[in-house]
Structure 1
Amino acid sequence: MDLAFVLYPKMTALDLIGPYEVLGHQEGVTAHFVAATPDPVTCDAGLVITPTVTFDELDRADIIVVPGSGVWEAALADGAVAAWLRKVHPTATWTTSVCTGSTLLAAAGILDGRPATTHWAVRDRLAELGAVVSTDRVVRDGSVVTGAGVSAGIDMALTLVGLIWGDDRAMFTQLGIEYDPRPPYDAGSPETAPGELVTLARSLLSGSAT
């Protein structure tokens, strides 16, 4: 089973690494890190990831994972990711995104009229791009699975493991990575965070959340 993890400049590392740790260890899986060029890609916090294949070289994958970015508008404007998605999505078994990666799916026409989720600060923009926006942490619509902001990529990937390999395998994977979230604060969403922090976050993110 071929997994394509999409790379592009200034992407958010955890959006990719979380799903990779969940999916990359499953039996029979071959992971590909695909980008526009073979040059190393620098994530938004400085982590460097080297592609294993380019968009021109990889024309199909069983599972596609598209991470988000704090500067996702730049990836939209570039158009390279969306163009590749338009080519490979029709033959993929699963097409997925994490955080603002959903905007790239939308730019490729994959989310037209479909339910999808994204980072809370980008919900309005995703709706403008044609999706039916949900506030759920993970949304599945047919072969398309989207995750909300950053850490939701782990939830999205575990959901996918359950769909492909069964619930027992998904629970075993969750146990193996000790995914048992107990955050020290209850400020992980705009519904629970203090109002002044939500206002500050909105002003800093300015519609381009990670």
Structure 2
Amino acid sequence: MNIVFALFDMVTQLDFTGPAQILSRLPNATVHVAAKKVRPIQTDSGFSINPSTSFNECPQADILCVPGGFGVPDAIEEGTIVEFFKRQAGGAKYITSVCTGAFILGAAGLLEGKRATTHWAYTDLLKDVGARYTEGRVVVDGNTYTGGGVTAGIDFALMLASEVAGKQVSASLELGFEYNPMPPNGSGHPSIAPDEIAGPMKDRYVENVGMMAKAIA
């Protein structure tokens, strides 16, 4: 089973590494980390990730996943990753995204008419790529799985693991990785965060949301 993660510069590494850690443990899984070129991909965390293959040489994915990050608008405008998803989607059993990676799926025409989610700051833009925003950390529509912001990628991977390998395998992975969230601040979503936290954080995303809107227009 080929699991392909497509990367771009300024990717949010946890969008990628969280799901990759879980999905790599599925039976008979081979993880391929693809990029336009096989060179270090700069993350938003100050370190780079080395892809294992280029988009042109990547094998056909069974599970196709794109993480998000502040580099998504540039990646969409450059276009190579969008064309990669158009080529790969027809042969993939599952087409998936984490966080703002949903907009790469959308730019490739893969969310048209589908229910989907993304990072909370960007949900209003999903309609601009033909999707119907649906509240949830993970939204499933047919063979399309979209995860919400960053840490939701772990939930997404466990849900997909249950679909692919069965609930016992998924539950065992959840235990093995001690995925037992107990957020210390109780402010992980605008719906529960206090105003003094939610307001400034929403303001921080205004520019980035504008960049995404421009990229998908």
Fold match, TM over 0.5?
Answer: yes
CA distance in 2, matches of 1:199, 1:70: 20
Which residue of 1 is the match for residue 213 of structure 2?
none
1:145 CA drift (Å): 0.3
Q: What amino acid maps onto 2:15 in structure 1?
A: D
Which residue of 1 is the match for residue 30 of structure 2?
30
1:71 CA drift (Å): 3.4
Alignment of 1:62 onto 2:62? yes
Is the Cα contact below 8 Å between 1:121 and 1:207 reproduced in 2?
no
1:85 CA drift (Å): 0.2
> Residue 4 of structure 2: SS of its match in structure 1?
strand
> Residue 150 of structure 2: SS of its match in structure 1?
coil
1:59 CA drift (Å): 4.9
1:14-163 to 2 correspondences below 5 Å: 14-163=14-163
CA distance in 1, matches of 2:8, 2:125: 20
> Residue 81 of structure 1: SS of its match in structure 2?
helix
1:60 CA drift (Å): 1.3
Is the Cα contact below 8 Å between 2:27 and 2:165 reproduced in 1?
no
CA distance in 1, matches of 2:121, 2:207: 6
TM-score by length of 2: 0.93
CA distance in 2, matches of 1:54, 1:118: 26
> Residue 189 of structure 2: SS of its match in structure 1?
coil
Change (3 A) 1:88 1:81: same
Which residue of 1 is the match for residue 11 of structure 2?
11
Which of 178-187 and 74-83 deviates more?
A: 74-83
Count residues with an aligned counterpart: 209
Identity of aligned residues (%): 38
TM-score by length of 1: 0.96
CA distance in 1, matches of 2:92, 2:208: 28
Deviation per CA, 1:86-120: give whole Å up to 9, x if none.
Answer: 00011101111000000100000000110000000
Q: Mind listing any 5+ residue stretches in structure 2 that lack a counterpart?
A: 210-217
Q: Which runs of 4+ in 1 moved over 3 A?
A: none
Deviation per CA, 1:33-91: give whole Å up to 9, x if none.
Answer: 00001111010112211111111112511011100002321122111111100000111
CA distance in 2, matches of 1:132, 1:205: 21
